[in-house]
Amino acid sequence: MTENWQLRTFLRHVGDRFEPLSPERHGSVYWKRHTSFAFAAAYRSAPVVLDEIDRVGASMPILFETQGGAPMPCAVMQAGNGPGSDVVSDAGAWQVAYVPACLRMHPFALCPDRAGDGVRLLLDPDSPWISHSPADLPLYDHTGALAADLARVTEFFGGYRRSWLATRDAAQALSDAGILKPAPQVLRFRDVDFTGYHAVDRAALNGLAPQKLADLMRQDALRLAFLHLGSLHKLEHIAQIGQARAQAAPRGAPATPEKAARTDAFLEALAQSGDSDADYFVEKDART
């Protein structure tokens, strides 16, 4: 595929373009809740965590990509070699049942820090949902502390850090077991080039000793492997959505920001598309 595919993954975009929030840089910056997924139209994949992996696999195929040398499961949003995502319409509508949590956070991203107890909050400075208008929601108050609305969002996703790290550990266990292989070696689907991604090698998985399988089960890695393998049939579903979109007449220009939304509406949007995984994150975090 090629570098073009890799440059368009969510993880690569976060690493290249997102900025850590700071009162010095963003003290006069404002935000609003997104009402369109047009921002995700260029993504071919987005990372997912164990707490949502069942729902992701029911809607989209799951592969693995690396972040800082560590593997991470990701939802594949493009099952062809076209220029954009198959699951976002021309009008910015999401077209499958579940939206990965990382995309519902936009224009923010959470970067868990393994060395610390908190979550680094990042910002997409190029997002149309970031502004310099006082009519929108501030990022910081006059003292340099997180503004109340943003503090609520940060609190809301405190448990995401735990799930992210658990997911990365489970994926690393699969890699250490020698069953994650470059996807082009073990996966064939039409003429799609999966260079840069990894998938479970079924033969290697079947050849693992019982003790190693037991170890992977305890780490939740075996569940991750099976859900990944069970999701691959969704490649055809995603491809069909993309084909239908390509054959249809344009549905209109991508949606653009209209007005600021209440923060409680933003939180409701984070919890949608599932049985309130965001609430689950909060409850888990409250128990830590």
Which run of H or of E encompasses 66?
strand 62-67
Q: Is 256 a domain residue?
A: no
- In a domain, residue 71? The reply is yes
Report yes or no on 287 lying in a domain.
no
> ∠ CA 224-226-231 to the nearest 5 degrees?
95
- Within 13 A of 226's CA, how many CA atoms are on the CB side? 9
**C-alpha dist (Å) from residue 52 to 182, 243, 262, 270, 282:** 24, 27, 25, 12, 14
Which of these, 241, 176, 247, 263, lies nearest to 212 by C-alpha position?
176
> Does 284 fall in a domain?
no
Q: Considering the domain boundaries, does residue 259 fall inside one?
A: no
Paired tokens of 225: 């492997």
- Asked whether residue 269 is assigned to any structural domain, the reply reads no
The pLDDT score that the predictor gives to residue 99 is: 95
> What is the pLDDT at residue 156?
67
Strands (E), 133-278: 137-138, 180-182, 198-200
Number of separate domains in the chain: 1
What lies within 8 Å, CB to CB, of 148 at 6+ separation is 141
Compute the half-sphere exposure of residue 120: CA atoms within 13 Å on the CB side of its CA: 14
Give the CA count within 13 Å in the CB-facing half-sphere of 124: 22
* C-alpha distance across the termini of the chain, in Å: 42
Place of tokens 């470059």: 182
pLDDT on residue 190: 86
Mean pLDDT by 10 residues, the chain (288 residues): 48 86 93 92 92 95 87 91 82 94 90 59 92 95 91 76 88 97 92 90 97 97 97 94 75 44 52 46 39
Question: Is the residue at 270 inside a domain?
Answer: no
* 3-state SS assignment for residue 151: helix
pLDDT at 130: 96
pTM of model > 0.85? no
Q: Closest by alpha carbon to 202, among 234, 231, 169, 225?
A: 225
**Domain housing 46:** 3-250
> How many whole angstroms from its chain centre is CA 63?
12
Does the residue 17 lie in any domain?
Answer: yes
